[in-house]
């Protein structure tokens, strides 16, 4: 039986995300891995945070290969949700195992107040979609059972369950990806993320052209980055996830500053290129009077 929990207050983040997915413009989510990066996403004006398994794994210095546990992912998502006012969409990889694991994840994330969960149809343990490795999929009916189990234990109808198909990543054709995605909607998915590593957007746009459902589509334009949000919205995509740009920017920026600092004779060489302490304090919510006497 589903765990009982008090209903969320009107205007919950999950309810707002559902309303946004039915709105007149695309919802933009950006990847984050902790409370600080989630705050930066909100401050920049985006509508949602993507609690990225890739970013969270990288923040532990580990590959995105099902090495980080569900508890670690959940703790990171909770930290993001606690310090932001926008919905958090949790990247839950394959659901952390079989159908019972996916159902358990739904219960835990929903109880924690996370607005949405995204589960993908690869085998557990998975490896990152862009890694040079085999991308093996579950049979359609097996993954549909995961979605069905997760949907059935949901106690708040506003919680968004996103089914992610990796069919195109695995080298299957668009018709096979569509067949899988329609089966996931029949099993209870509220949205479908179709992932692609093509350098051009035609593959996902062809998928959208063949989509026969009112359930919203989700795009992750990491490799086909020339596509615009308006083009995706016109094709039927209602959520666009910039899944890793923030982390990649941080890695490049830190590498460059540390390299310059290594070559310099003191910290003055990089001072103009880094954020002042006051800005970090502001992100932390540090009181301006902290440490001063009345």
Q: How far is residue 76's CA from residue 79's CA, in Å, rounded to a whole number?
A: 5
Structure-block tokens of residue 195: 């992932």
Q: How far is residue 235's CA from residue 246's CA, in Å, rounded to a whole number?
A: 26
Q: Find out whether 29 and 239 touch, Cβ atoms under 8 Å.
A: yes
Q: How far is residue 255's CA from residue 253's CA, in Å, rounded to a whole number?
A: 5
Q: Is 89 helix (H, G, I), strand (E, B) or coil?
A: strand
- Phi first, then psi: what are they for 120, rounded to 5°? -110, 160
Structure-block tokens of residue 173: 């054709």
Q: Find out whether 128 and 114 touch, Cβ atoms under 8 Å.
A: no
Structure-block tokens of residue 54: 């890739």
Run of H or E residues at 73 = helix 70-82
DSSP 216: P
Q: Is 64 a catalytic residue?
A: yes
> What angle, rounded to 10 degrees, do the helices at 70-82 and 99-111 form?
20
Q: Find out whether 217 and 238 touch, Cβ atoms under 8 Å.
A: yes
Tell me which of 64, 91, 121, 158 is the catalytic residue. Answer: 64
Report, as residue numbers or ranges, the catalytic residues: 64
């Amino acid at each position: 039986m589903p765990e009982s929990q008090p209903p969320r207050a009107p205007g919950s983040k999950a309810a707002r995300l559902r309303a946004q997915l039915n709105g007149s413009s695309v919802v933009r989510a950006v990847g984050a891995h902790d409370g600080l990066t989630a705050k930066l996403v909100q401050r920049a004006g985006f509508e949602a945070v993507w609690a990225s398994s890739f970013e969270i794994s990288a923040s532990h210095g580990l590959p995105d290969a099902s090495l980080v546990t569900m508890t670690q992912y959940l703790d990171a998502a909770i930290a993001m949700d606690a310090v932001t006012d926008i919905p958090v969409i949790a990247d839950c990889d394959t659901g952390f195992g079989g159908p019972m694991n996916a159902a358990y994840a739904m219960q835990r994330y929903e109880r924690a107040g996370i607005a949405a969960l995204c589960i993908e149809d690869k085998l557990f343990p998975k490896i990152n979609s862009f890694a040079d490795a085999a991308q093996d999929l579950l049979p359609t009916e097996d993954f549909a059972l995961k979605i069905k189990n997760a949907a059935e234990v949901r106690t708040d109808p506003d919680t968004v369950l996103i089914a992610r198909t990796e069919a195109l990543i695995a080298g299957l054709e668009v018709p096979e990806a569509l067949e899988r995605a329609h089966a996931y909607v029949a099993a209870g998915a509220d949205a479908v993320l179709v992932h692609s590593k093509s350098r051009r957007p035609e593959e996902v746009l062809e998928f959208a052209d063949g989509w026969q459902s009112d359930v919203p589509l989700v795009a992750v334009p990491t490799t086909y980055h020339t596509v615009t949000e308006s083009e995706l919205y016109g094709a039927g995509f209602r959520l666009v996830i910039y899944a890793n740009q923030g982390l990649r920017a941080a890695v490049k920026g830190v590498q460059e500053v540390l390299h310059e600092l290594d070559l310099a004779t003191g910290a003055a060489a990089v001072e103009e290129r880094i954020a002042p302490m006051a800005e970090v304090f502001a992100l932390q919510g540090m009181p301006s009077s902290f440490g001063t006497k009345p």
